[in-house]
Each structure stands twice: as structure tokens, then as C-alpha cells.
A and B are shown apart, each in its own frame.
Chain A
Amino acid sequence: MSVHKDILPPELIKDRGSLHPINHMKDSIMNLLVSFGFEIIDGPEIETEEFNFDMLNIKKSHPARQMHDTFYVENKSNLLRTHTSPVQIRGMLEKKPPLAFISGGKVYRKDDDATHLPMFHQVEGIYVDENVSFAQLKDLIYKIIYSLFGEDVELRFRPSYFPFTEPSAEVDILSKEGKWLEILGCGLVNPVVLENCNIDSDRYSGLAFGLGVERIAMLKHGVTDIREFYKSNLDFLSQFK
């Protein structure tokens, strides 16, 4: 028997790599927000107390500023940003309203357990214009949540507290198991913050929101231990293609 000329070799299956699921989730959220009209801006991970706290109306006495919550560097001259909000401060100082920014990236807090890590990722957004209201913020949040979790998802707004927004809210979604899960924080930009950025708070108001990327990635992918994302295990990473 001779070799048939028409027998082809097996399909050459070349292994493709994958984006890290956290970066993929971050990019997905940011792409969604860009489609709503937000512009991406970046800022440093090593920040000053002024931009990370003072400009955001986080007072010297706020617990977040304590050494047990925030990583300070170089003899307390700077810190590792605890949120991406300082990027928005830098953006507001540079540009005049109307403005709509998002920033995403690594942030740092002194936590370490199955649901918290000292380094994690946030996506935050801000929109400043005339007559921005809490009712509009709700509309935006519905759009974000429905895009991420589908229009069947049930969500609720709860009053909360962030020094840089007033009124402030946290948003929960109802899981399939009937448990409310916190998804994001949001609110109307505190006029003090607008004034700190030389924006006339009598004329302009703003809305702001922030999402924890790991939290959403855990829910979307069904990962129960946040530490799995950062072991760099190829068996784990190869699932996210």
C-alpha cells in the first residue's frame, strides 16, 4: 500500500496565550464606558497625600489614612494610591467641564485574605457638567450593571458614605443564590472636591463611580478565592481564552 497523496497532516494546533482575566475584565469595563462617552486618563500609582486624600475631602482623621490601611513610602513622603480617584483630580485640574473621565489600574490597601489583597484593580469614572443629578447617576449605573450582568439582574441602591461624594450609594446585585452582593460605589461629586479642582460648584455638578475589578471578575468567572488570579498558574490562566 502506498501513501495517499491526498492525506493531509493533522491540523497544526498552536497554543495561543491569554490575557490575564483581570486585565481582560478591566479592559472590557473600560471599553464599555468609552462607548458611553468617557475618555481614558492615566495617573501614577505612587501618589501624594494631597491627591490621594486631601483633594478628595478625606480628612486627616479618616481611618483610611492610618498606617494600618494605607502603604506609605519613603518616610511617609508619598503613598501607594488607595484608589484611582486621584487620577480624576489630576484630570479635573487639567481640563474644564463638561468632562467625562475614566481611569483604571492597580491600587493598594493593607489587606490580605481570601477576598482582599494588598494590590487590586479599580475602574473609576467621573462626569461633570451642568445639572448632573442623582437620578442620572442611577440611569448610568443601570446601564453599566445591565451591560455587565444582563438586564434580568435585580439591583438595589443603598445609602453609603464616601468623603468625595454626597449623596453616596453602594449598589448590590441579587445573586442566583438569593444573596445581595456589593458591586460598586457611586455618588454625586462632593462640591468641596469640585472647588478643590477650581470648578465652580454652583454651576457644575458631577457624578462618580468606582468598581472593584477583581470582585466583578470573581462573580463573572465563578472564582471564589481572589488569590488564584495572582499565582500565575498556567492551568488557571489557560482557561481564560
Chain B
Amino acid sequence: MKIAYRHLVQHILENPSIDHISDSLFQLGHEHEIDGNIFDMEFTPNRGDCLSINGLLRDLAVFYTIDLDQEIYTEKLDELSIDFENLSHSTCPQISFLKLEIDQVPEIYKDCLDNYFSDLGLNKNNFFTDVSNYLSYETGQPTHCYDASKINNKLVFNEIESYEEFQTLLDRKITLTGNNAVFSLNNEVINLAGVVGGKSTSCSTNTKVVIVECAFFQPEAIIGKSVKYDIQSEASYKFERGVDSKCHDRVLRRFINIVNDHTNIKDMSIISHKYKDNPIVQIPVNVHKINQIIGINISEKEYLNYLSKLGFDIEGSFIKVPSFRSDVKTQNDLAEEVARAIGYNNIESSEISIPKKDKPPHKDIEKKLKYFLLDHGFYEVINSPFVSLSSENAIKVDNPLDSNREFLRTNITNSLIDNLLFNERRQKDSIKLFEISDIYSSNNGINKKRKLSIIASGRTGLNFEEFSNKINKKYLTTLFAEILPNEVLDFKILSRDLLDTKIKNEIISLEVDINKFPIDILSYDEISKSPEGFIQYSPISDLPSSFKDISYSIKDHSKTQELQNLLLNYHSDIIKNVYIFDYFKNEKQGEIKIGFRFIFQSKKITLKSADIELVYNDIVQKSLRINGIKIPGF
């Protein structure tokens, strides 16, 4: 909600700067940004009472002296005769109508009405709607204006199951479905209550006789309607958060006053229906409790002074909660009011000591499994549970974000296959992934299983011992035999027939209940350690990568280390990785053969052959400067 600085400050006697008010608003918990001289406010959902100039001023009164000099019409008003029936008192416990007839529609706006439109850069509609919109801004109470000449029969309010078209005053057709609180005329909906009025009875620039409706709707009846029908509605935003049930008379009298400031009123009458009274909340004065909740030590006088400034009445030993503060019901609510007034950041913290209980040693099979997998080059992944139908036992999401993913996965393996293909498309030739997750299915109720799934394909490792070995069932069976010598794990070879890939490497997978792992695994002594700090991430490249191998023949073996130092530490912006993929010591010929693989990838451009050749040639030249080293065939 946008609120102009000058609309606030004109009521504050201390005349604070915009920054001063900003600081005060933050202390009170009202987040905002400042755009020029406009506060762009974001209120928490419990503070519907602040969605207006007056609401904010009521809160700011804890810091400033507020002078609300808004005049209202104080004379006695005739009773309005209107044919109205309320068929849902619980949804609309209070409603008032004001009928006004004016001499002529004013062309120029004055004072607060003019400032409202000019300062906030708003478009005008018609006189009565403009006054209604301004009043909502000033008081927080939305009102709705009907052109009285169009209300030619009984007006009925009801909350009904409906399926009918409704044309909003913004000239948009919507189809009302399900339960809606509506006003009807001649059995046709003319107003989606608390959200948007209808075109058939709306005011125009020629309207001279208006019926102003001022109501209290239960938030439950309004909530979600603007989203459901995709309508931007400030009224529904306010009704959803709760409005002041006792403000109708004042708001309608203020309406009269503003109209009267602009034109001559020929006739006016008012009627109020109160079907049910909102009870007044009273809370016992208990400063001890307040001090205990916050952890401070203030006097009762200071305590009550804060509340008094915020509009609470103190009557004997009770605090009477004002009607606009429907969010305050308990001592904790009052403690929050005091804490806001003091300032959360001004409350001294107090040493906390949580009693430590003797806990049994935490036997964590899952953690051991993870570290075993890390030690063997597996990376942990986390996948979204939302998938297309994967099994008849899959749980269906009633309201998915994506209609192609309206089920919860019943296995992890399918997610890992996607992860594997994703990395294969990025030229990865040694892929080992795992995920541990709860998996849910529906079978006579909801079943939960905690599962480990692994997937692996390609080379067993990127080093000279493992480079030529491909991952297969035997490799993984041997691996797991290290920690589970007595278990037979059901590794599967997954077919690539239905996968969009030309790579031929076997894909091996395993999916198993964590609970089936025996506690033997707890004796595994892991090598990998949890990272000590938090590594600064370096953005990755999605551009294609390629590799080049260089194989050397070394006769002077003492130069082997020098060559390794040169190549493994060679720096270039386009080298992503380098490792030794081949090493062979030929005793008979007195020769060492060593092969290095360089992976090239740029973060900025798709590399051309020439870019790679340039770096490659430099590597070759520098390495051949080492005596006793040759590149066969070079």
C-alpha cells in the first residue's frame, strides 16, 4: 500500500522528517520502501487496521503527538428507507447505507481529495467512487457506491452457491462458481461483496444520487476470492485482514463532509443494521506477566502509558481493546505491543541456558552410508518429488504447479536417471550419484519409506588406475562388500533403450530401504570429512567442453615430478580440469609413459579449435623444455 509522507506528517505535531517516520515504522514492524515522498508499505496479515492513514497514525501515536483534524458531519440524519434483506447475518453482521443527492457533480477536487489523487498519481473514476476510494485510504474502511437510480427493487445480501456470469464495474466478465457472498437485485448478482462491484449498478460521471454501502464482512467469506477471480481489489485486501466493525457511522459522516465540501447536498439519509455485535475484548492489567514475557522490568505506569498511546482504554483493572485491534486478545499480544513501543532492538538480551539431557549415542547409519559413498566418489543430490504418474500407488497432488508433475515420486531412481543424462550431456564420463529421501505412496493409507538410491555409469574413476575400468555390477558389488560383506544388494543394469542418449556405458542402479542396512556399517572408518568452512561458489559454465590428451615418454625418470608439477598446476582460463589418466613403468626399456588429460571449457564463449590449440601448443612447448622428455609421434 502506498502512503504519501505529507498525508501522514500533516497530522503529526512534531513535524518529523521522512527518515524519522521511516525509522519509527520499522520499529513498529511496518516494513516499507521509500520512493520519493511515498512510503510503499507492506503490512503483516494481522494488521489490517494499519491499512490507512488513520491506522498508521494510531500506531505512530506511541512516538508522536497526533492531531486527527478530519471533520465529520455531526447533524442528525433522516432514516433511509431502503428495501434491503440480509440473508446471511453471520457473514455480514453489520451494514449501513447512506443515500445522498447532490445538485451537481463537482469538476474540481479540493483539499485532501485533490491531494490524494495528485500526490499518489492516481486516476479518477467518478466523483462518488473517488470519494469512496479516498475514504478507504484515510479510514481503512472500504465502501461501495451504487447509482441510486439503478437500485429499483429489493437489494438482497446472501452467501450462496452460484454459477453465473457477473460483469464487474471494470467491465470484465467473470463466472462466479462455488460459494460467494453477493448482493443481488432482481435475482441477478450486482456486487461480489467485499471484492468488486458490478457494472449494472455502478456510478458514472453523471451520477447525482448515490447509495453508499458500508459493511463488515467476515474475513473468511472474502478471503481467496480476488485470487480466484484474478481481480486486483484493495477492498478485499482490507476485508480479508479485518476492518473496524464500529467505524461505520463515522466513515459515512466523513463521506458526507467531503461531498459537502465539494457540492451542495440536496438530500441525505442513513440507516444502520446491526445483526450481531462484535464482543469487546478486555484483558486484566498484569504488568508482572508482561515483564515476564518480554524479560524486562517496567513499571505499571509506563506499561499502561504505552497502551494508552496506542488507543487502548484502561478501565479499572482491565485493558479494553479498541474495536480496530481485532488481533489483540491475550497478555502475549499486549506484550508485543509494549515490546514494539520499546523497540525490539532496545530490549536487553538475557543469558539462556538450555538444560542438556543425557542422550544415548546417536547411531547414524545414514551418515555412515553417506560418507562411505563420498569416499568412493559419489555425489549427493536432492531432487524434486513432483513427477508425472510413475506408479498406481503414487499420491496425487490436488493443485500441482505443473499439470505434468501432479504426482509424488514413488522411487528415487527415475530422478537419478534424469540427473545422469543431464551430466552425460555435459561430457561427464564418470558419474556416481546418490540420494536419500523419504518416499511416499498410497496403499490403504499413506506409506512412508526412507530410501537410498544410487546410480553410476562410465569410468570408475578419473585417475590412472581406474581410467580404463568401466562401472558395472561387479564393481559396485565389490565396493559394497567392504561394508556389507554378508548382504546381497540387488544392483540393476538399466536399459538405455528408451533414453535419449547415444552413450553406451552401462547404467547400474540400486534402490533400497535405509532400514534394511545392518548396524555393521557403523564400524566403517570414513576418509572423507565434512567441509570445515563454507566454500565460496564459483559460477559454472553451461558451454560445451572438450578434452585433449598428451602422452609423454620419460627416459630421465628424475624429471617425472617436474613434469607433473608443470602440468597439474598449469593455469589457463579455459582449462577446467587436468588429471593423469595413464601411467606405465616399462622396466625392460627403462621408460616411463605418462598421459595427461586436459578438459577445456570457457565460462564466456564456446571454444573453437584454435582457442584450444593455442593453449595446447603452449603446454607442449613448455613441457618439452624439460630434458629427457618426449611426446611420441610429435
Which of A10, A18, A143, A205 meets B293, CB within 8 Å?
A205
Within the complex, the shortest CB–CB distance from B457 to chain A, in Å, comes to 12
Interface residues of B in 552-581 (CB under 8 A from A): 555-558, 560, 564, 576, 579-580
A14 at the binding interface (Cβ < 8 Å): yes
Q: Is A96 an interface residue (CB 8 A)?
A: no
Q: Are A136 and B350 in contact (CB under 8 A)?
A: yes
A-chain residues with CB within 8 Å of residue B152 when the two chains form the complex? none
Is B379's CB under 8 angstroms from A18's CB? yes
Contacts of B172 in A (CB 8 A): none
Q: Which among A66, A75, A157, A221 has the greatest number of chain B C-beta atoms within 10 A?
A: A157
Pick from A161, A232, A239, A241: contact of B383, CB under 8 Å: A232
Q: How far is the CB of A69 from chain B (nearest CB, A)?
A: 9
State the Cβ distance, A70 to closest chain B Cβ, in Å: 8
Residue of B nearest to A139 (CB): B349
A: number of interface residues (CB 8 Å): 98
Given known contacts A15-B462, A160-B29, A233-B422, A239 and B350 CB-to-CB distance under 8 angstroms: no
Contact with B along A118-157 (1 / 0, CB 8 A): 1100000001010101111111101100000000000011
Please determine whether A24 and B423 come into contact, CB atoms closer than 8 angstroms: no
Q: 1/0 contact trace for B522-565 toward A, CB 8 Å?
A: 00000110110011111011000000000000011110100010
Who on chain A is nearest to B563 by CB? A10
Asked whether A76 is an interface residue with its Cβ less than 8 Å from the other chain, the reply is yes
Tally inter-chain residue pairs, CB-CB below 8 A: 287
**In the bound complex, how far is the Cα of B528 from the Cα of A190, in angstroms?**
43
Find out whether the CB atom of A240 lies under 8 angstroms from the CB atom of B535: yes
> Bound complex: CA of A17 vs CA of B540, how far in Å?
18
Which of A28, A117, A135 neighbours the largest number of chain B CB atoms within 10 Å of its CB? Answer: A135
Cβ of B403 to closest chain A Cβ, rounded Å: 13
- Say whether B594 contacts A17, CB under 8 Å: no
Question: Which residue in chain B gives the minimum CB-CB distance to A61?
Answer: B220
Tell me which residues from 1 to 21 in chain A have a Cβ below 8 Å from any Cβ of chain B.
Answer: 1-4, 7, 9-10, 12-20
Report if A66-B224 is in contact (Cβ < 8 Å); known contacts: A7-B592, A139-B349, A158-B29.
yes
Smallest CB–CB gap between A197 and chain B, Å? 16
Q: Is the CB of B583 within 8 A of A63?
A: no
Check A222 against B537 for contact (C-beta < 8 Å): yes
Residues of A with C-beta under 8 A to B381: 20, 232, 237
Interchain nearest-CB distance for A68 vs B (Å): 6
Q: How far is the CA of A205 from the CA of B290 in the complex (A)?
A: 12
Across the interface, do A119 and B385 meet the contact criterion of CB distance under 8 Å?
yes
Report A84-102 residues with CB < 8 Å from chain B CB: 98, 100
Q: How far is the CA of A232 from the CA of B332 in the complex (A)?
A: 45
- A73-B396, A73-B408, A138-B347 in contact; A233/B426 too (CB < 8 A)? yes
- CB interface residues, B 330-351, toward A, < 8 Å: 330-333, 335-336, 339-340, 344-345, 347-351
| B374 part of interface (Cβ distance < 8 Å) | yes
A67 touches B399 (CB 8 A): yes
The range of chain B's interface size is: 35 or more
For B531, what are the chain A residues with a Cβ–Cβ distance below 8 Å? 18-19, 24, 240-241
Interface check B295, CB cutoff 8 A: yes
Establish whether residues B378 and A98, one from each chain, have CB atoms under 8 Å apart when the complex forms.
no
Bound form: Cα–Cα A28–B374 in Å: 17
* Cβ–Cβ contact B384 & A119, under 8 A: yes
CB < 8 Å neighbour of A234 from B373, B408, B423, B583? B423
Q: Is the CB of A161 within 8 A of B397?
A: no
| Neighbouring A residues of B448 by C-beta, 8 Å | 44, 46
Q: Find chain B residues with CB under 8 A from A220 CB.
A: 534
In the complex the two chains form, is B380's CB within 8 Å of A20's CB? yes
Contact A39/B352 with A18-B380, A241-B531 known, Cβ cut-off 8 Å:
no
Q: Tell me whether B465 and A12 are in contact (CB under 8 A).
A: yes
- A71 and B332 in contact, given A3-B587, A20-B382, A156-B345 (Cβ under 8 angstroms): no
Give which listed residue, A22, A119, A233, contacts B423 with CB less than 8 A.
A233
**Inter-subunit contact B395/A135 (CB<8 Å):** no
Q: Is the CB of B398 within 8 A of A76?
A: yes
B144 at the interface (CB under 8 A from A): no
Task: Quote the shortest CB–CB distance from B199 to chain A (angstroms).
Answer: 27
B354 and A37 form a contact (CB under 8 A): yes
**Does chain A have a CB within 8 A of B438?**
yes
CB under 8 Å from chain A, chain B span 132-146: none
**A18: nearest residue on chain B (CB-CB)?**
B379
Smallest CB–CB gap between B165 and chain A, Å?
23
B376 partner residues in chain A, CB cutoff 8 A: 17
Chain A, residue nearest B436 (CB): A23
**Residues on A with beta carbons closer than 8 Å to the beta carbon of B465:** 12
Instruction: Tell me if A74 and B396 are in contact (CB < 8 A).
Output: yes
| Contact bitstring B25-53, A, C-beta under 8 A = 1, else 0 | 01111010000000000001111000000
Q: How far is the CA of A31 from the CA of B580 in the complex (A)?
A: 38
| Interface pair B332/A12, CB less than 8 Å apart | no
Asked if A54 lies at the interface with its beta carbon under 8 angstroms from chain B, I say no
A190 to B328, CA, bound (A): 12
Shortest beta-carbon distance from A12 to chain B in Å:
6
Stretch in B265-273, B355-363, B618-626 touching the partner: B355-363
Report which of B379, B408, B556, B587 forms a contact with A238, defined as CB distance below 8 A: B379
Contact of B375 among A16, A24, A229, A231 (CB under 8 A): A16
Contact A10 B349 (CB under 8 A): no
When the two chains form their complex, are residues A159 and B336 in contact, meaning their CB atoms are under 8 A apart? yes
Cβ contacts under 8 Å, A208 to chain B: none
- Is A103 part of the binding interface, using a Cβ–Cβ cutoff of 8 Å? no
Q: Quick one: given A4-B557, A15-B463, A221-B536, are A134 and B395 in contact (CB under 8 Å)? A: no
Are A45 and B438 touching (Cβ within 8 A)? yes
Give the Cβ gap from B6 to chain A, nearest Cβ, in Å: 26
Does any Cβ of B come within 8 Å of A199's Cβ?
no
Which of A10, A117, A143 lies in contact with B594, CB distance below 8 A?
A: A10
CB A86 to nearest CB in B, in angstroms, measures 14
- Is B419 in contact with A232, judged by CB distance below 8 angstroms? yes
- The reply to whether A13 and B223 form a contact with Cβ atoms under 8 Å apart is no
Contacts of B488 in A (CB 8 A): none
B109 adjacent to chain A (CB < 8 Å): no
Q: Do B355 and A136 have beta carbons less than 8 Å apart?
A: no
Closest to A78 in B: B446
How near does chain B come to A132, taking the closest CB pair, in angstroms? 8
Interface residues of B (CB under 8 A from A): 26-29, 31, 44-47, 219-220, 223-224, 227, 240, 292-296, 330-333, 335-336, 339-340, 344-345, 347-357, 359, 370, 373-386, 395-401, 408, 418-419, 422-423, 426, 428, 430-433, 438, 440, 442, 446, 448, 461-466, 527-528, 530-531, 534-538, 540-541, 555-558, 560, 564, 576, 579-580, 583, 585-587, 590-592, 594
Listed by A's residue number, 10 A-B pairs whose Cβ atoms lie within 8 Å are A46-B440, A61-B220, A66-B224, A66-B227, A67-B399, A75-B398, A136-B350, A167-B340, A235-B576, A236-B537
Apart from A118-B384, A135-B349, A138-B344: 14 A-B pairs, beta carbons within 8 A = A3-B591, A16-B375, A19-B531, A23-B382, A61-B240, A62-B45, A67-B399, A134-B295, A161-B29, A161-B44, A167-B332, A168-B336, A234-B426, A234-B428
Nearest 9 A/B pairs, CB to CB: A135-B295, A159-B29, A133-B295, A37-B354, A161-B44, A167-B336, A157-B344, A138-B349, A135-B350
